[in-house]
Structure 1
Amino acid sequence: MPTALITGVTAGIGEAAARAFVGAGWKVIGTGRRADRLAALKDELGEALHTLEFDIRDEAARDAALDGLPEAFRDIDLLINNAGLALGLEPAQAAKLSNWTTMIDTNIASLVSITHKLLPALVARKGAIINLSSVAANYPYPGGNVYGATKAFVRQFSLNLRSDLIGSGVRVCSIEPGMVETEFTLVRTGSRETSDQLYGGVNPMTAEDIAATMLWVAQQPPHLNINALELMPVNQAWSPFLVHREG
């Protein structure tokens, strides 16, 4: 029975991924900050899920948790770097620097750090890494300044890992979703109305859609690597170029 470590399982895509992988017969190590949600997910999924409570930015807490894994969960075959966030929609000149640094610390630094820690074990087991990027990595939009840049990093880091890991048997995939209706926008804006307006009438993707895609990637034969996978709901496409008209 293979084991996946999924970061950020207390909501959205991470929570759906924990359910999908356990349902497919995997053991899952799920990390998150919210003890109550971790406990509820553990109650739901049972012994196949081992939960770890820590902030992904806290390396000392993370290392203590990972180093204390029970024997049955120590052999990790798949790392899913799902934990991340977006803060603010202001233009760069009006944005809060604290929002920028929090996104960089969470979406980049923490992802890089946990990947570095687990890479030797993943190489030894010829495992896999799935990194959650975004269409924002490729298509800029007003207010996406640092968030989009962090997701571009995730995409490029994934591709560069592929270059370094050639011959190791380790597979790496960048998953790049468009509009997925989760708590994501509510957290970003703090407004239920804004979130409802964004997704209204779009028939957006769900967390379960992305979780199923991650599971599909993980289940491909070991000689096949999905480098990057971009997904959008049918009702989303590319915006026209922005134009500012003077006068």
Structure 2
Amino acid sequence: MPGVADVSPSGPRVLPGSGRTAVVTGASSGIGAATAERLAAEGFDVVLGARRLDRLTALAERIGARALPLDVTDPASVEGFAAAVAQVDVLVNNAGGAFDTNPVAEADLDSWARTYDVNVLGTVRLTKALLPALRASGAGDVLFVGSTAGMVSYEGGASYTAAKHGVHTLAETLRLELVGEPVRVVVVAPGMVRTEEFSLNRTGSREAADAVYRGVREPLVAEDVADCIAWALTRPHHVNVDLLVVRPRAQAAQHRVHREG
């Protein structure tokens, strides 16, 4: 992990995150892992949370971070995680996922419940648990990794779009409730992002997951979203990036994607 300053020809440069502690959830893969790595490079003291502690520990050792087990759907796990983190300046609520592509007429209610629990209720659990520390920091940040699915509905996406709409309105409500307090509330909403697990978990097969991105010349990757997250978190603290929507150039809208060949 970088120190608090980089040396350049003009002298030491203090890194934007120096002295600040950032918690990143869902950090064992994808956007969460990329965000953790980027924030560590920006000088943040990073605390990683996820269920897969083996992967989490490997990442933590590589980037100089701290790994703690966390299942946002388990109140006891959230309580234990919060108790283990003394200082929190930044919370990146990244844990989430999509688990089916069924139309409403064929809805799997267990999948709906799982989707809502991890994306919405889990986010509420951890935000509630860490909010006292974020307030006490004097310059706290709560960043939600939302989705363009939280802004637009589409066929076969009801369980996920409903959950991500919930995340977006959660963030908007929290911002209203915290106005006047030293805590920013930020939403970064990615469009099409190719990661190793998201579409695989959603479709259940590698072939179907690959088809999502077939012909798309340059879908976003996790590092692109991490770059946006880091940018929002390193603005002067009076600057609140309410909502940052980021898509690949090939995606003009949820249903409008240019595919080659």
Task: Tell me the TM-score normalised to structure 2 length.
Answer: 0.87
The C-alpha deviation readout for 1:45-74, integer Å capped at 9, x for no partner, is 12xx111113111111221232134xxxx2
Instruction: Summarize the alignment of residues 215-226 of structure 1 with structure 2, pairs less than 5 Å apart.
Output: 215-226=230-241
Matched, 1:33 2:56: no
Matches of 1:225 and 1:156 in 2, distance apart? 17
Alpha-carbon distance, 1:200 to partner = 2.0
- Say whether the 8 Å CA contact 1:33–1:53 is kept in structure 2: yes
Matches of 1:176 and 1:240 in 2, distance apart? 16
Residue from 23, 48, 71 that aligns with 1:55: 71
Residue identity (%): 39
Question: Match of 2:179, as an amino acid?
Answer: I
Q: CA RMSD in A?
A: 1.4
The C-alpha deviation readout for 1:199-238, integer Å capped at 9, x for no partner, is 1221100100001110000000011101111111000122
Matched residue, 1:123: 135
- Say whether the 8 Å CA contact 2:148–2:245 is kept in structure 1: yes
- Aligned-partner SS, 1:86: coil
- Say whether the 8 Å CA contact 1:9–1:18 is kept in structure 2: yes
Matched residue, 2:229: 214
Matches of 2:127 and 2:61 in 1, distance apart? 28
Matched residue, 1:245: none
- Aligned-partner SS, 2:194: coil
- Say whether the 8 Å CA contact 1:13–1:82 is kept in structure 2: yes
The C-alpha deviation readout for 1:116-138, integer Å capped at 9, x for no partner, is 11112111212011001110111
- Say whether the 8 Å CA contact 1:80–1:131 is kept in structure 2: yes
Single out whichever of 195-204 and 14-23 deviates more from structure 2: 195-204
- Say whether the 8 Å CA contact 1:154–1:174 is kept in structure 2: no
- Aligned-partner SS, 1:237: strand
Matched residue, 2:251: 236
Matches of 2:206 and 2:154 in 1, distance apart? 21
Task: From the two aligned structures, give the one with the greater helix fraction.
Answer: 1
Query: How many pairs align?
Result: 235
Residue from 194, 200, 209 that aligns with 1:186: 200
Alpha-carbon distance, 1:15 to partner = 0.3
Matches of 1:239 and 1:206 in 2, distance apart? 17
Question: Match of 1:232, as an amino acid?
Answer: R
The C-alpha deviation readout for 1:93-139, integer Å capped at 9, x for no partner, is 11211000001111111101111111121112120110011101111
Question: Match of 1:68, as an amino acid?
Answer: A
Matches of 1:65 and 1:227 in 2, distance apart? 27
Matched residue, 2:8: none
Question: Match of 2:53, as an amino acid?
Answer: A
Matches of 1:239 and 1:123 in 2, distance apart? 36
Question: Match of 1:25, as an amino acid?
Answer: G
Unaligned residue ranges in structure 2 (runs of 5+): 1-18, 257-261
Matched residue, 2:242: 227
Single out whichever of 52-61 and 170-179 deviates more from structure 2: 52-61
Unaligned residue ranges in structure 1 (runs of 5+): 242-247
Matched residue, 1:109: 121
Residue from 10, 33, 36 that aligns with 1:15: 33
- Say whether the 8 Å CA contact 1:104–1:150 is kept in structure 2: yes
Alpha-carbon distance, 1:240 to partner = 6.4
Matches of 2:141 and 2:255 in 1, distance apart? 37
Residue from 106, 120, 129 that aligns with 1:94: 106
Task: From the two aligned structures, give the one with the greater strand fraction.
Answer: 2
Matches of 1:114 and 1:95 in 2, distance apart? 28
- Say whether the 8 Å CA contact 1:30–1:50 is kept in structure 2: yes
Question: Match of 1:19, as an amino acid?
Answer: E
Matches of 1:67 and 1:89 in 2, distance apart? 37
